[in-house]
Every structure is written in structure tokens, then in C-alpha cells.
Amino acid sequence: MPVKNRFAELHEEITTWRRDLHEHPELLFDTHRTSALVAEKLAAFGCDEVVTGIGRTGVVGVIKGKSDTSGKVIGLRADMDALPIVEQTGVPYASKTPGAMHACGHDGHTAMLLGAAKYLAETRNFDGTAVVIFQPAEEGGAGGREMCEDGMMERFGIQEVYGMHNWPGQAPGSFSIRPGAFFAATDVFEIEVEGKGGHAAKPHETIDTTVVASQIVVAAQTIASRNADPVDQIVVSVTSFETSSKAFNVIPQRATLKGTVRTMTDEMRDLAETRLKRLAQGVAESFGATARVEYIRNYPVMVNHEEQTAFAAKVATDVSGACEEAPLVMGGEDFAFMLEERPGAYILVGNGPGAAVHHPEYNFNDDAIPAGCSWWAEIVEQRLPAA
């Protein structure tokens, strides 16, 4: 059961949608143009219900099959938001929004799910209900959590949910997946060090926050190298170091560190938070300074459910001939919130060679569209076989 012929026919049209979305990227929850376009198309496809404003700017479309003896409801989710990156692709449909671009392929995800929705609304060759979910604010805003907190799963009776992400470096239109923990929990921290500022010529009269904060940066790396079991995945990254002074001859009163922690288990997450706080405060105290640590838990570990993962892999194999085992990914994904609410699975579709996601030269590969659309459509048709 290869790529559906209908998606070969729709390929050019879906590509046009994708490139229009690429030209007009929107950040976080400010997906007003994108959400309106999605809602307009879902209505034009003949969806039985189109609801906007779920999770602020999310859009949900309901497509009923020819029959509903099963009473089953399957959710399919795509993310819509872009990233605050200046595009450097040079393509004719490059971003027209200053400082924003679709550097993660959410334009492709949205276009592919729209293509699947059009096909499902045309054919309705299934027994049950398909719910297409278009989510804002995946890139750090936890839009998936907001849609769940808005009661989306209960309101539309969703029983299982499936998501997809493009994957650069993997052959276009190929698939890979893994059961269990897949994408990492992603937390952020801010450490504010308070010392005693003064003249750079008289360091003995100060408590140098630059030195203290530098020691904290080094000490934080021991969480992974000396506190965590070597077989457990954990990444602690300090990504920002700022002081309260920009002068050459001033030892600053304050220094602020920011960064991320990425883990694959709740135990590692707890360990990282506890150790980071103790290290920062202990190092600061040893120099006579103080450290205030704010640790914010963001996206949880994204965990694929075993039965749904096996099913998703079978569908992928039917579409493309194979489905490989995906690697563990230390990036975060807020589809995790939906998988905490309902069983389901998340799969990777190949984007081919080229720049990695979150890079200014990244571009979604339109050759992946027919496979991606076919996988979503087959998820519905195989999970809800026509009566």
C-alpha cells in the first residue's frame, strides 16, 4: 500500500499551501493568519465542524466517516508556529516577516495535515471520526498543554492521538520511530549571582561575580559527568552569561546565567534540579557571594505508547516500504502533553539532506509531502476500517 495516488495529484496544490505558509511565519500563539487560513480551508473541504480558539489560537476540524459503528475517534496533530530566526535560504518564497522563519518545518506539517484532511473529507472511507488538530506555540510556548487544558480531548472525544515531525538527514518520505521515551524533557534555569562590585584595579575589595559565575558554569558540567549514571541521558547547557556592567574597568555587582537541562527520566530531572541548586548556592557561598536559582520545568519527556507505536510503524511500512528505529532525541516536543492525556505515537518523516532544523538555511523538503499525507490518512483508515 504505497503513497496514495490522490496525494500525487494534490502534491502541487499542497506545496503551494506550504510555501505560502513559509512566506508568512508567525511566532508562538500569534498564529492569527495561519489559523485563519487553516480554518478557512477546513471549512472549504467540508469538515463537519471547525472550531477555532482552542489553546488561544489552535484550530480543530472534525471529519466523520461514512459510518460510526465503532464509536472511535482518532486525533491527528500538526504544529503551526515558526521561530525567531532571520532566514538565509534564498528561496523565492522566503519569509516576508522580519526576524521570523519556518526553520523547523511546521509549515510542512501544517500543509501535510491539511492535505490529509482534504482527502479524508472527500473519501470518508472509515468507520468513526477523525479530528485534525492544528496547534500553535510548540516552540517554547507549550501550546499543546494549553489545548489540552482547554478540554480538547474531552470536548471532541479523542481516544488516540498521532503526530509527525520532519527529520533532516533521513531519506525523503522514509519513516522512523521508537516506543517509550523518545524526546527529552526540556527545562530552563536562571541563576543570579550577587557579589560586591568595585573597581577592576582593586579586586581584593570586591566579591567578583564574574569569577563566581564562571565557577558555577564549570561546576554545572559535573552534574552529567559525576552525578548522573553514565548510561542515563542528560545535557546541562549554560547558554547565556551576562553581568550588570558593560564597562572594561568595573567588577560587576551581579551576574546572571541562563540555560537548559534535558533529561529522559523523571529521576534524572529531579537529580538535575537538586544538584544545580546546591552547586550554584554552594559555589557562591564559598566566595562570599549569594546565588538565587530559578528552575522551571517545561516540556516533559515525550513517551510513545507501545501498541500505538507498533501500529504507526506498520502504517509507515505500508506507505514507504520500511520503518527504521529512530534515535533518542534530546530536543523537546510538546506533543508530550497530548501523549500524557491519550495513548498515541509520534513519528519522524525524512526531509533529506540539507540544513538541520533551527538553522537559518533550513527548508522543508516538499518531496516528503505525499508520504506524510499518506501516513496520516492511513492512520485513520486502518485504525477505523470502514464497516
Tens-digit pLDDT profile for residues 330-349:
999 999 999 999 999 999 99
CA distances in angstroms from 318 to 10, 120, 154, listed in the order given: 20, 18, 31
CA distances in angstroms from 97 to 21, 27, 104, 255, 356, listed in the order given: 11, 10, 16, 34, 21
Residue 359 sits at the vertex; the CA angle it makes with 338 and 330, to the nearest 5 degrees, is 45
Q: Which three cell numbers stand for residue 216?
A: 558555577
User: Whole-model pTM?
Assistant: 0.95
Tens digit of pLDDT for each residue in 348-379?
999 999 999 999 999 999 999 999 999 999 99
The sheet that has 234-243: what strands, in order across it?
234-243, 254-263, 185-194, 290-299
Residue found under cell 492525556: 341
Tens digit of pLDDT for each residue in 82-113?
999 999 999 999 999 999 999 999 999 999 99
Taking the domains of the chain in order of start, what are their residue ranges?
A: 5-181+301-383, 185-299
> Is 3.20.20.10 the CATH classification of the domain at 5-181+301-383?
no
CB 27 within 8 A of CB 116: no
Tens digit of pLDDT for each residue in 123-141?
999 999 999 999 999 999 9
pLDDT at 3: 78
Which of 385, 377, 318, 384 has its CA nearest to residue 164? 377
Question: Left (φ > 0), alpha (ψ -120 to 50) or beta: where does 358 sit?
Answer: left
Q: Which three cell numbers stand for residue 210?
A: 564574574
The sheet that has 344-352: what strands, in order across it?
49-54, 58-64, 129-135, 73-79, 160-168, 344-352, 175-177, 324-325
Return d(Cα 46, Cα 156) in angstroms, integer: 17
CB 102 within 8 A of CB 25: yes
Give φ, ψ of 364 to 5 degrees.
-65, 140
Q: Where would I find the H helices in the chain?
A: 5-23, 32-45, 106-123, 143-149, 152-156, 209-220, 222, 266-286, 306-320, 335-341, 369-383
Mean pLDDT taken over the chain: 97
Tens digit of pLDDT for each residue in 54-89?
999 999 999 999 999 999 999 999 999 999 999 999
pLDDT at 110: 98
Return d(Cα 86, Cα 103) in angstroms, integer: 9
pLDDT at 2 over 80: no
* Cα 286 to chain centroid, rounded: 39
pLDDT at 4: 85
Q: What is the mean pLDDT of residues 20-48?
A: 98
Tens digit of pLDDT for each residue in 298-333?
999 999 999 999 999 999 999 999 999 999 999 999
Tens digit of pLDDT for each residue in 277-302?
999 999 999 999 999 999 999 999 99
pLDDT at 1 over 80: no
Which of 164, 160, 156, 170 has its CA nearest to residue 365? 170
CB 39 within 8 A of CB 102: no
May I ask the CATH architecture of the domain 185-299? 2-Layer Sandwich (3.30)
Band of the pLDDT at 387, cuts 50, 70, 90? confident
pLDDT at 275: 98
Alpha-carbon dihedral of residues 355, 358, 359, 360, nearest 10 degrees? 120
Tens digit of pLDDT for each residue in 145-197?
999 999 999 999 999 999 999 999 999 999 999 999 999 999 999 999 999 99
